[in-house]
């Protein structure tokens, strides 16, 4: 019993820990209420531990340093810039498409000051939210009309709610297109949320036009095509062409919708040695009534769901009460608007000046001088230049690999896992990948202006590993 009491007396008082932390000038600037909460939680968990029969409890300094580790890890978990050395261009864990400096400048100003988001400056009356963006997007995509909402998943739900409801709530889709779009979300689940009834046709690898045709009833609301953006099907496969599906839709008076997801704006095969990814314009030219794409995948803008196609259907979508729940805020609308302006300004000749387009178009020759500079600056025999393969990522073009240049590190006196961890723990965290017993950083996804930070991070961690 006496032993137990003495154990409890080792649990420090919250104030005492806070005081010790207050004297630590290495502590990250985490807001005090969050620090206090962590300390309270730790003290409580120690008490629970002893109450549950635990018998080992550290000294005061140990407890404080455990709390410090928790403070650091909570602090690091806030959203802040990261150096992406993975070679995955649209990395969903790292925020998908980075925005260009010009785009960010514009949205900073719009965020900082009042703006005309819903004011018609001509009349002084209430104006159309995002009206300019809709005009510019329709022009860029060459569609009758266009609008935007939160993301592509939301766009799909909105489209389904509008076109497949009430007596005509059935949506026909091929079994080969019931894809999981990432993060555990599957197209059937998203469709269920909308209230639409899924009518699956065909087999995983083969769906014929007759399969669609035979499934049409008076309850059918629309035909849906979902682009297989994150996987490939090869071998014994068949599906009707979009044109055939469109013709069927016209005959039976049913709208045909394509969820394109990845949404390239420029021909990907002209930017990099990779396959051609269909664009929204191409899909609409095949006769599809409505297409939806992600704003932050191959479009290279902020998170958004871009919807384009027939003017009457777009107008209908915008009248849905649910549209209000999916509307984008001023920063997103500005980011998208400026991205579209960049595409439109460059559509004759020069490439759009967007990070995504730049990263896709870089050649090995473009990257090599940077690699040499970094290796020279580090002047360490465990650092060398390697060949890598970059990828589009973000669930787009899984087979496309772009030859790239890497900085390869074989640290001495430290495992690769620990090495990677220390680089993630930096003030400007850095994420690479491990292959062939080396830690590798693909320069394609590292912004050139971050090269100095790459050198600084590597220098610091290599010093530790010695």
The reply on whether position 391 binds ligand PLP by CB under 6 A is no
Helices (H), 77-199: 101-112, 131-141, 152-163, 187-194
Long-range CB contact pairs, 117-122, < 8 A, 24+: 117/330, 117/333
Size of the site for ligand PLP (CB under 6 A): 13
* Contacting residue, 227, 438, 440, 444, with ligand PLP by CB under 6 A: 227
State which of residues 211, 258, 259, 408 lies at the interface with ligand PLP (CB under 6 A). 259
Per CB under 6 A, the list member of 84, 229, 337, 445 interacting with ligand PLP is 229
Region binding ligand PLP by CB under 6 A among candidate stretches 150-158, 237-245, 356-364, 415-423: 150-158
What tokens appear for 91 in the block?
């990395």
The closest alpha carbon to 108, from 334, 301, 299, belongs to 334
Taking CB atoms, the residue at the shortest distance from ligand PLP is: 261
Window of 255-263, 281-289, 355-363, 454-462 that interacts with ligand PLP by CB under 6 A: 255-263
Minimal distance in Å, beta carbon 262 to ligand PLP?
5
Return d(Cα 450, Cα 373) in angstroms, integer: 13
Three-state secondary-structure class, residue 13: coil
What part of residues 267-326 is at the interface with ligand PLP (CB under 6 A)?
294, 305
Minimum distance from CB of 418 to ligand PLP (Å)?
Answer: 34
Distance CA 436, CA 161 (A): 49
Q: What are the angstrom distances between the C-alpha of 206 and each of 175, 203, 212, 237, 247?
A: 8, 5, 12, 5, 19
- The piece of 124-132, 146-154, 313-321, 442-450 that touches ligand PLP (CB under 6 A) is 146-154
Helix axes of 152-163 and 187-194: crossing angle, nearest 10 degrees: 50
Q: Which is nearer to ligand PLP, 151 or 404 (CB)?
A: 151
Q: Does 262 bind ligand PLP (CB under 6 A)?
A: yes
Collect all residues with Cβ–Cβ distance below 8 Å to 238 and sequence separation of at least 6.
Answer: 205, 206, 207, 208
Listed residue (53, 21, 58) closest to 36, CA to CA? 21
> Phi, psi at residue 82, to the nearest 5°?
-135, 145
* DSSP assignment letter at 274: S
| Nearer Cβ to ligand PLP (393/395) | 395
Tell me which stretch binds ligand PLP (CB under 6 A): 147-155, 340-348, 380-388, 407-415. 147-155
**Nearer CB in complex with ligand PLP: 65/92:** 92
Closest CA relative to residue 392, chosen from 266, 242, 292, 282? 266
Question: Rounded to an integer, what distance in angstroms lies between the CA atom of residue 304 and that of residue 96?
Answer: 12
Residue placing its CB nearer to ligand PLP in the complex, 175 or 424: 175
Q: Are 435 and 384 in contact (CB under 8 A)?
A: no
Nearer to ligand PLP by Cβ, of 174 and 229: the residue is 229
Among the listed ranges 46-54, 151-159, 240-248, 449-457, the one in contact with ligand PLP (CB under 6 A) is: 151-159
Min dist. Cβ of residue 439 to ligand PLP (A): 30
**Residue selected from 176, 302, 395, 411 as contacting ligand PLP according to rule CB under 6 A:** 395
Reference 288, options 248, 337, 242, 325; nearest CA is 242
| Segment 207 to 226, residues that bind ligand PLP, using CB under 6 A | 226
Binding mask 432-461 for ligand PLP (x = CB under 6 A): ------------------------------
> Which token pair is 254?
């049913």
Nearest to ligand PLP of 137, 181 (CB atom): 181
Residues across the chain:
466
Q: Shortest approach of ligand PLP to residue 171 CB, angstroms?
A: 14
Q: How far apart are CA 155 and CA 147, in angstroms?
A: 10
- Are 331 and 148 contacting, i.e. CB atoms less than 8 angstroms apart? no
For the record, the structure tokens of 448 come out as 């050139």
Determine if residue 14 is left, alpha or beta; phi over 0 gives left, psi from -120 to 50 gives alpha, anything else beta: alpha
Nearer to ligand PLP, 183 or 321 (CB): 183
Residue 239's Cβ-side half-sphere holds a number of Cα atoms within 13 Å equal to 20
Position 181 contacts ligand PLP (CB under 6 A): yes
Q: Which of 221, 249, 261, 301 lies at the binding interface for ligand PLP (CB under 6 A)?
A: 261
**Nearer of residues 284 and 454 to ligand PLP, judged by Cβ:** 284
Among 84, 97, 143, 151, binds ligand PLP (CB under 6 A): 151
Rounded CA separation 156/224 (Å)? 10
Contact of 23 with 55, CB cutoff 8 Å: no
* 191 sits near ligand PLP (criterion: CB under 6 A): no
Please identify, using beta-carbon distances, which residue of 84 and 294 lies nearer to ligand PLP: 294
Q: Which is nearer to ligand PLP, 130 or 261 (CB)?
A: 261
Select 305 or 411, whichever has its Cβ closest to ligand PLP.
Answer: 305
Looking at the Cβ atoms of 225 and 440, the one nearer to ligand PLP is 225
Q: Which residues bind ligand PLP (CB under 6 A)?
A: 151-153, 181, 226-227, 229, 259, 261-262, 294, 305, 395
């Amino acid at each position: 019993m006496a032993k137990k009491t003495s154990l409890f007396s080792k649990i420090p008082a919250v104030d005492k820990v806070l005081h010790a932390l207050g004297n630590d000038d290495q502590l990250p600037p985490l807001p005090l209420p969050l620090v206090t909460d962590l300390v309270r939680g730790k003290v409580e968990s120690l008490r629970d531990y002893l109450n549950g029969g635990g018998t080992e409890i550290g000294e005061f300094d140990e407890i404080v340093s455990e709390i410090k580790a928790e403070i650091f890890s909570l602090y690091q978990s806030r959203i802040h810039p990261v150096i992406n050395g993975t070679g995955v261009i649209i990395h969903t864990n790292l925020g998908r498409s980075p925005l260009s400096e010009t785009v960010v400048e514009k949205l900073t100003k719009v965020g900082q000051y009042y703006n005309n988001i819903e004011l018609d400056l001509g009349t002084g009356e209430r104006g159309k939210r995002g009206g300019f963006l809709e005009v510019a997007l329709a022009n860029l995509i060459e569609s009758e009309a266009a609008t935007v909402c939160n993301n592509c998943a939301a766009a799909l739900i909105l489209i389904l709610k509008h076109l497949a409801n009430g007596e005509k709530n059935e949506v026909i889709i091929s079994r080969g297109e019931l894809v999981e779009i990432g993060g555990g979300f599957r197209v059937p689940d998203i469709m269920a949320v909308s209230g639409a009834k899924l009518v699956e046709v065909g087999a995983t690898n083969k769906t014929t036009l007759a399969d669609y045709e035979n499934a049409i009833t008076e309850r059918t609301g629309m035909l849906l095509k979902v682009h297989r953006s994150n996987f490939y099907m090869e071998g014994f496969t068949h599906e009707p062409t979009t044109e055939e599906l469109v013709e069927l839709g016209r005959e039976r008076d049913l709208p045909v919708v394509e969820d394109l997801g990845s949404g390239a704006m420029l021909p990907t095969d002209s930017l990099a040695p990779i396959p051609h990814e269909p664009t929204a314009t191409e899909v609409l030219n095949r006769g599809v009534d409505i297409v939806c794409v992600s704003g932050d995948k191959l479009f290279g803008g902020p998170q958004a769901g871009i919807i384009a196609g027939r003017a009457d259907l777009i107008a209908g979508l915008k009248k849905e009460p649910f549209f209000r729940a999916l509307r984008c805020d001023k920063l997103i609308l500005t980011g998208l608007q400026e991205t579209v302006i960049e595409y439109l300004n460059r559509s004759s000749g020069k490439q759009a000046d967007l990070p995504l387009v730049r990263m896709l178009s870089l050649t090995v020759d473009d990257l090599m001088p940077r690699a040499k500079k970094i290796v020279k600056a580090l002047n360490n025999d465990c650092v060398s230049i390697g060949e890598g393969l970059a990828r589009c990522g973000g669930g787009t073009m899984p087979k496309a690999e772009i030859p790239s240049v890497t900085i390869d590190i074989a640290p001495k006196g430290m495992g690769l896992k620990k090495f990677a961890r220390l680089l993630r723990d930096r003030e400007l965290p850095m994420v690479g990948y491990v292959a062939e017993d080396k830690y590798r950083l693909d320069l394609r996804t590292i912004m050139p202006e971050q090269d100095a930070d790459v050198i600084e991070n590597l220098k610091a961690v290599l010093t530790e590993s010695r």
